[in-house]
Structure 1
């Protein structure tokens, strides 16, 4: 059975390092045997179809192929269309009323629990807020991610140590859902 997925690459094409042209990402995905490939923006978002049903295996194969092609490691998360839609549908913030730059989703490679973020005093960051999903975190940052003190606090090693995580703004979250449904 063929499933549609999104690949979320972490930390590429920012600040001049780890350059992965989207045309070459599409080529890598094609060489891995995937079909229906489309990329979105330059920040490492790709949609593809595959007969493989293991997201972790798909991510590992893509990481290996990217490392072989470009000579540096690239962390990747792969999520299926159902999961992407569920994340968008479960948003605890009023997404339709917010600008895309105000709302973000951080995707994790595995489930996270509230204990990981114990010690954070959420009220000291207001009006910024976050909520946990199963393998994601929703962040409301009214002034955008670049000015968010909560985003900085959430990425401290004690909170994300041992996790692969990558963040997308709400516009990208919504577009990936649209592309995987298309």
Structure 2
């Protein structure tokens, strides 16, 4: 049995795509997942499952959410080993930064550096980003909401063909803890 985190993109934001966490837990339990729990209202669920892999579980959950709630949600599923590796590979001094300054964007596939060729990092300093294993680390000293670099990184040409969802550093750490 493997423990996974499901990362749902764009739910419960601005009154759109409302998905109560109690109902999400019920849905996951109904799919046969065990040890189901949710974290915050912004779309994190942790569960144990003995079948499938991350991609097939994400597809299964995406289909179940659409069937139950009537709207489509992008879902990424990642296991504990991956989540832990992402945290451990952080290229920024995470312990020295405020959690609001550091974010991880998880992607459904690898990120080719060519996607970022038109982006001049010097223009956005002191903000910075680094690529990881299907992840992008963003250092935004004034927070994500004020980040011009985050805006540039979310452009369709960069994310084309990939599911992407961002979490702050506290959430990244909590997901490692909850799946461990």
The answer to whether structure 1 residue 7 and structure 2 residue 12 are counterparts is no
So what's the TM-score if we normalise by structure 1? 0.98
What is the alpha-carbon distance in structure 1 between the residues aligned to residue 130 and residue 50 of structure 2? Answer: 33
Q: CA deviation at 1:113?
A: 1.3
**Could you say what the CA RMSD is over the residues aligned between the two structures, in angstroms?**
0.6
Give the equivalent residue in structure 2 for 1:129: 128
Structure 1 contact 3–53 (Cα < 8 Å) conserved: no
Give the equivalent residue in structure 2 for 1:45: 44
So what's the TM-score if we normalise by structure 2? 0.99
Aligned residue runs from structure 1 range 84-163, under 5 A:
84-163=83-162
In structure 1, the gaps of 5 or more residues are none
The answer to whether structure 1 residue 62 and structure 2 residue 25 are counterparts is no
Q: CA deviation at 1:53?
A: 3.9
Q: CA deviation at 1:161?
A: 1.2
Which 4+ runs in 1 deviate beyond 3 A? none
Q: CA deviation at 1:166?
A: 0.2
Structure 1 contact 113–132 (Cα < 8 Å) conserved: no
Q: CA deviation at 1:52?
A: 1.9
What is the alpha-carbon distance in structure 2 between the residues aligned to residue 79 and residue 53 of structure 1? Answer: 12
Q: How many residues align?
A: 180
In structure 2, the gaps of 5 or more residues are none
